[in-house]
Each structure stands twice: as C-alpha cells, then as structure tokens.
Amino acid sequence: MRVLIKTSDALDHFKNASRLAEEIGITPQAINQWGEYIPDPSVGKIMAVIPGISYKIVRGVPTPSRLTA
C-alpha cells in the first residue's frame, strides 16, 4: 500500500520549493528532483505540515524499498 501525494499540490500550498524544503527539512534541489508524486520518505512530513492535503491510497503497488530487496 502506498500513499500518493502530488508534488504540485504541496508546491501550490507553499508557493515555491524553497519554502517547502525549509518546512520539511530538505533542500530545494531534492524537491526539484521529485517526479509527479512525492517520494515515500517525505510523504509523512508533508502530511504533518499540510493537514488536509489531498492524497490517494493505492493498494498492491510495491514501495521502492520492496522493489530493491
């Protein structure tokens, strides 16, 4: 099971990558490398700083850690 949050939704909330990065403790360069969806390690941080952000739960999709095992 994975929780998917669109990168654009988080960026819209904070207006730019620098503000979002500062809020969750990573670099703006890391955010600029995100694809359409926020990577799993940052999902919990995003949900903590943006209560009510829209997300989708997808079942049966392996997480990246299970893909490399």
pLDDT digits (tens, 9 = 90+) for 42-66: 999 999 999 999 999 999 866 665 4
**H or E stretch including 30?**
helix 28-32
In a domain, 67, yes or no: no
pLDDT digits (tens, 9 = 90+) for 4-53: 999 999 999 999 999 999 999 999 999 999 999 999 999 999 999 999 99
CATH number of the CATH domain containing 42: 1.10.260.40
In a domain, 66, yes or no: no
Q: If DSSP codes are grouped into helix, strand and coil, which group holds residue 63?
A: coil
The CA-based dihedral angle spanning residues 43, 15, 51, 33, taken in that order and rounded to the nearest 10 degrees: 0
Count of domains in the chain? 1
With beta carbons less than 8 A apart as the criterion, state whether 3 and 55 touch.
yes
In a domain, 27, yes or no: yes
Q: Which two tokens stand for residue 4?
A: 């998917």
pTM to 2 decimal places: 0.81
In a domain, 31, yes or no: yes
In a domain, 53, yes or no: yes
In a domain, 45, yes or no: yes
Q: Per 3-state DSSP, what percentage of the chain is helix, strand, and coil (rounded to 5)?
A: 50, 10, 40
Q: If DSSP codes are grouped into helix, strand and coil, which group holds residue 37?
A: strand
In a domain, 18, yes or no: yes
